[in-house]
A = this chain, B = another copy of it.
């Protein structure tokens, strides 16, 4: 598959590198074509790796991953443009955190509670099939669930069943054997709303190598 990974931070790097390692063609997207981090990543990852603007890599790709700062998600959606992702599976792994007031962050009111970053993204890219996933854990665990021993869970939600099947396939390639489908995209209000709890757990556990397991009767 051809994956565009939008975002040059730790999450973008981790996802892009894993996808390239799995044999996919991957292009890392940034605001400018000459973004140094994106170019350096592409140069380091062989002939199937590339970089470009958000719009160019999204237009090129089969699947588009939003791995940007949650506060920037709609700006990046506008930079991509709805036509570039028409009918494509768009994978949103962001969290709508307001980091402007220091730690711990709060949720951005316009992107939480009665809506979500994922729903706002879907509204901005109406022809895309947005699926929310992977936003409830540290980026290293996203692509390497075995980093935390035993069973633990990843969640996904979205409106389009074919797009969810695409994401399930990607998650299984990452090593997730049994992702939990939470239903419609509005369930992202729930998973995005867990980040304040996750940040407190980070403090209590002392490191980010933990994840949630839903234990059932």
- Residue from B150, B189, B197, B217 in contact with A147 in the complex, judged by beta carbons closer than 8 Å: B217
- Residue from B113, B147, B215 in contact with A212 in the complex, judged by beta carbons closer than 8 Å: B215
> Which positions 68-90 of chain A face chain B at CB distance < 8 Å?
none
| Interchain CB contact under 8 A, A182 and B200 | yes
A50 vs B75: C-alpha distance when bound (angstroms): 59
In the complex, A175 has a CB within 8 A of chain B: no
In the complex, A203 has a CB within 8 A of chain B: yes
Please list the 7 inter-chain residue pairs (A to B) with the smallest Cβ-Cβ separation, ordered nearest first: A190-B197, A209-B217, A213-B213, A190-B196, A152-B215, A187-B200, A182-B200
> Which positions 185-217 of chain A face chain B at CB distance < 8 Å?
186-187, 189-191, 193-194, 196-201, 203-205, 207, 209-217
Copies in the complex: 2
Name the prevailing secondary structure of the A interface residues: mixed
State the A residues within 8 Å of B (CB): 104, 106-107, 109, 112-114, 147-152, 157, 180-183, 186-187, 189-191, 193-194, 196-201, 203-205, 207, 209-217
**Distance to closest chain B CB from A165 (angstroms):** 17
> With A113-B109, A187-B200, A196-B190 given, is the CB distance from A205 to B210 under 8 Å?
no
